[in-house]
Amino acid sequence: MSGNLSSSAKKVQETLKGFGVSLEVAELPDSTRTSSEAAAAIGCRVEQIAKSLVFRAKESNFPVLVIASGINRVDEKKLKALIGEPVGKADAEYVRENTGFAIGGVPPVGHKKKIKTYIDEDLFQYETIWAAAGTPHAVFRLNPNELLKITGGMPVSIKK
Ligand code: 5CA
């Protein structure tokens, strides 16, 4: 039930509802701020955490979202090749401006601005994955095809 969710988690729950999928946001007592904390709090493998990382295209200043498996590091050179310009890591303020959420709780959907999205192909080997849902305590469970459907992201080879 979403009755007791904080406002940021509720926003994500409403976004998910809008997609017509029955995905349920859960707020956990333990921190889910990082992939390893999230995996520990959920009781899943770090690999199954779909972390939403925001990058900034350095020339256009456009945001780019990479949804990566919790254990992988994103190769910025591969990302550069995909979007056609250099990228850098976004700072906290840029993340909030573009997504409407703070680092540690950035969800894969429901952002303030429309963000071009890439999905780490490694996530497709897991039946069940977990993504952040707006706060450093909120997550939701889904499968990779649902992630594909709700984000409209492009599956790519992106790890270092
Ligand atoms: N809720 C968890 C699991 S989904 C989560 O959001 N994990 S995360 O990995 O997607 O978010 C934390 C990420 O934010 C880190 O991997 C790191 O890339 C980024 N980050 C952490 N601190 C900063 C910072 N000060 N500036 C920019 N990015 C940061």
Atom of ligand 1 nearest to the CA of 38: 3
Q: How far is the CA of 105 from the centre of ligand 1 (A)?
A: 8
- pLDDT at position 80 is 98
What residue's CA is closest to ligand 1, atom 6? 104
pLDDT at 116 exceeding the cut of 60: yes
| Residue 120: strand pairing partners | 156
Please state which CATH class domain 2-156 belongs to.
Answer: alpha beta
Question: Phi, psi at residue 111, to the nearest 5°?
Answer: -80, 155
- pLDDT at position 149 is 98
Cα separation, 79 vs 74, in Å, equals 8
Indicate the burial class of 63 (C-beta count within 10 angstroms; 0-12, 13-18, 19 or more). Answer: buried
Atom of ligand 1 nearest to the CA of 90: 27
Amino acid identity, residue 138? A
Question: Phi, psi at residue 72, to the nearest 5°?
Answer: -90, 150
Cβ of residue 148 lying under 6 Å from some atom of ligand 1: no
- Mean pLDDT of the 18-44 span: 97
DSSP notation for 123-157 = GGG-S-EEEE-SSTTEEEEE-HHHHHHHH--EEE-
Atom of ligand 1 nearest to the CA of 103: 14
Q: How far is the CA of 150 from the centre of ligand 1 (A)?
A: 21
Cβ of residue 34 lying under 6 Å from some atom of ligand 1: yes
pTM reported for the whole predicted model = 0.97
pLDDT at 1 exceeding the cut of 90: no
- pLDDT at position 2 is 53
Atom of ligand 1 nearest to the CA of 68: 10
Cβ of residue 30 lying under 6 Å from some atom of ligand 1: no
The pLDDT tens digits of the residues spanning 62-108 come to 999 999 999 999 999 999 999 999 999 999 999 999 999 999 999 99
pLDDT at 21 exceeding the cut of 80: yes
Q: What is the mean pLDDT of the chain?
A: 97
Cβ of residue 104 lying under 6 Å from some atom of ligand 1: yes
How far is residue 143 CA from its own chain's centroid? 13
